[in-house]
């Protein structure tokens, strides 16, 4: 086997952003992804919720310069997706995806994708060997760019699922068009509006706490150089405490809240707020009991998000085998995203290094800009 410069594990936005920048710097690399197609899982989730607008501004994308997407939308052949939502200049999801696919095609990134799943990572002399189903690669460096893949399912839902109840997570397999939806975040609201568009039937959105209206799921100041500098000076246990104390689930942008409010006023969506319980009364039927009364339904969609990414599986074994530093079941990274022994990390697993923004597109840009040999402006 020839020795590569980099192997990137994960073909989502973080992996694509890093691959674009590293390859521009002359690196010979491969991207390992179970689907064998870049952005496939990310795109599927966006479709599942009926995403129309990106939450991030137009400067957050997978190309090298912050203005690249803006310039791309000025091309005549992209006029149909060139709208930007003010005041933060958010692009359409279709515009972001078209630009990302343009970058992938222009740079030939799909040609370096290896379809497979990583099962082991070990050192052999000066190289790292990445092994798995359909994978056997030797490389000088590995970048772990995996995302959050475990759906969040409440215990009451698990118990009812075990009894055969028609309860499905929006990011899982199974029907996605139930008109009763549980969840109070951006995905739940997008899903509710999308289900009404598809079915033209009343949609009920069940939430246990009031919807939190906010422009972004992390504070804007937490994506700037000053914050990154202050965060890096904190001790790891201080960072863990701050991450544990921040729960930004349930944040909905004002524009999306306006659309939901309009749908409620027109009788398209009902917002069922407060405590509720779910019971299975007979095969194929559920009863949801809330403060406004009981409703019988034949299905329920969970829009309860994803569980925070933690070390596990092959990566946990690799950390133990290579003696890589871990705290709170997260990698302890150096300033250049280096975990140790030639292993680098970006995405949700880099929260201890980058803070709350690690999972987002701006986190992908920040992490890429810090990789060795890369010249890139995050924003």
Q: Mind giving me the DSSP string for 111-130? A: GGEEESEEEEEEEETTEEEE
CA distances from 244 to 230, 287, 327, 352 (A): 18, 34, 13, 11
Give the lowest-confidence range in 129-143, 191-205, 220-234, 261-275.
220-234
User: Hey, which residues does 285 pair with through a beta bridge?
Assistant: 282
Most confident region among 166-180, 271-285, 325-339 by mean pLDDT: 325-339
pLDDT for 168: 93
Give the lowest-confidence range in 172-186, 213-227, 346-360.
213-227
Give the lowest-confidence range in 38-52, 72-86, 235-249.
235-249
Q: What's the gap between Cα 193 and its chain centre? A: 21
Phi, psi of 230 (to 5 degrees): -65, -40
User: Hey, which residues does 238 pair with through a beta bridge?
Assistant: none
pLDDT for 308: 82
Average pLDDT over residues 93-97: 97
Confidence of residue 248 (pLDDT cuts 50, 70, 90): low
Q: How far apart are CA 130 and CA 123, in angstroms?
A: 9
Q: Does the domain at residues 3-150+307-370 carry the CATH identifier 3.50.50.60? A: yes
pLDDT for 222: 67
Alpha helices in 57-185 (DSSP H): 68-73, 93-107, 155-162
Our separate counts of H helices and E strands in the chain read 12, 22
What residue ranges do the domains of the chain occupy?
A: 3-150+307-370, 155-211+250-302
Give the lowest-confidence range in 112-116, 186-190, 236-240, 242-246.
242-246
Average pLDDT over residues 143-151: 91
**Tokens describing residue 253:** 């942008």
Helix (H, G, I), strand (E, B) or coil at 32: strand
Helix (H, G, I), strand (E, B) or coil at 213: strand
| CATH number for the segment(s) 155-211+250-302 | 3.50.50.60
CA distances from 173 to 33, 128, 151 (A): 19, 35, 11
Q: What's the gap between Cα 102 and its chain centre? A: 21
pLDDT for 228: 79
What is the residue whose two structure tokens read 């005041």?
87
Helix (H, G, I), strand (E, B) or coil at 185: coil
Alpha helices in the chain (DSSP H): 13-24, 40-48, 68-73, 93-107, 155-162, 186-199, 225-233, 236-245, 254-265, 313-322, 351-354, 361-370
Q: What is the pLDDT of residues 193-239, one digit of tens each?
A: 999 999 999 999 999 888 888 887 766 666 677 777 888 888 988 98
Mean pLDDT over all residues of the chain? 91
pLDDT for 242: 86
**Tokens describing residue 44:** 């599927």
pLDDT for 175: 62
The structure's pTM equals 0.91
Helix (H, G, I), strand (E, B) or coil at 132: strand
Same fold, 3-150+307-370 and 155-211+250-302: yes
pLDDT for 48: 87
Intra-chain end-to-end CA distance of the chain, in Å:
38
* Pairing of β 135-144 and β 167-169: unpaired
Average pLDDT over residues 1-21: 96
Per the CB < 8 A criterion, the answer to whether 160 and 154 are in contact is no
Q: How far apart are CA 302 and CA 339, in angstroms?
A: 35
More confident residue, 310 or 109: 109
Q: What's the gap between Cα 225 and its chain centre? A: 22
């Amino acid at each position: 086997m020839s020795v590569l410069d980099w192997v990137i594990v994960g073909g989502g936005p973080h992996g694509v952003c890093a691959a674009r920048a590293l390859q521009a710097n002359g690196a010979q690399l491969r991207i390992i992804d179970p689907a064998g197609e870049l952005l496939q899982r990310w795109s599927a989730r966006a479709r599942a919720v009926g995403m129309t607008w990106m939450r991030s501004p137009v400067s957050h994308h997978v190309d090298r310069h912050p203005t690249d997407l803006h310039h791309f939308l000025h091309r005549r052949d992209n006029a149909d997706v060139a709208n930007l939502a003010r005041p933060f200049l958010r692009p359409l999801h279709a515009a972001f995806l078209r630009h990302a696919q343009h970058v992938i095609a222009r740079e030939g990134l799909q040609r370096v994708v290896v379809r497979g799943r990583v099962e082991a990572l070990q050192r052999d002399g000066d190289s790292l060997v990445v092994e798995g189903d359909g994978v056997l690669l030797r490389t000088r460096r590995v970048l772990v760019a995996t995302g959050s893949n475990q759906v969040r399912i409440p215990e009451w839902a698990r118990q009812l699922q075990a009894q055969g109840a028609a309860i499905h997570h929006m990011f899982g397999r199974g029907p996605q068009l139930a008109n009763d939806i549980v969840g109070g975040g951006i995905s739940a609201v997008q899903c509710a509006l999308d289900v009404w568009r598809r079915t033209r039937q009343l949609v009920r959105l069940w939430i246990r706490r009031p919807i939190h209206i906010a422009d972004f799921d992390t504070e804007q100041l937490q994506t700037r150089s000053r914050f990154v500098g202050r965060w890096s000076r904190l001790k790891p246990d201080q960072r863990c405490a701050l991450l544990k104390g921040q729960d930004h689930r349930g944040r909905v942008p004002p524009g999306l809240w306006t659309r939901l409010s309009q749908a409620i006023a027109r009788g398209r969506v009902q917002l069922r707020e407060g405590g509720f319980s779910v019971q299975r009364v007979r095969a194929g039927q559920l009863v949801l009991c809330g403060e406004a009364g009981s409703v019988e339904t034949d299905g329920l969609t969970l829009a309860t998000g994803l569980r925070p990414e933690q070390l596990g599986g092959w990566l946990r074994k690799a950390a133990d085998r290579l003696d890589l530093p871990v705290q709170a079941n997260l990698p302890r990274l150096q300033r250049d995203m280096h975990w140790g022994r030639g292993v680098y990390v970006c995405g949700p697993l880099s929260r201890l290094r980058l803070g709350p923004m690690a999972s987002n597109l701006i986190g992908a840009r920040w992490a890429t800009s810090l990789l060795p040999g890369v010249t890139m402006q995050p924003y």
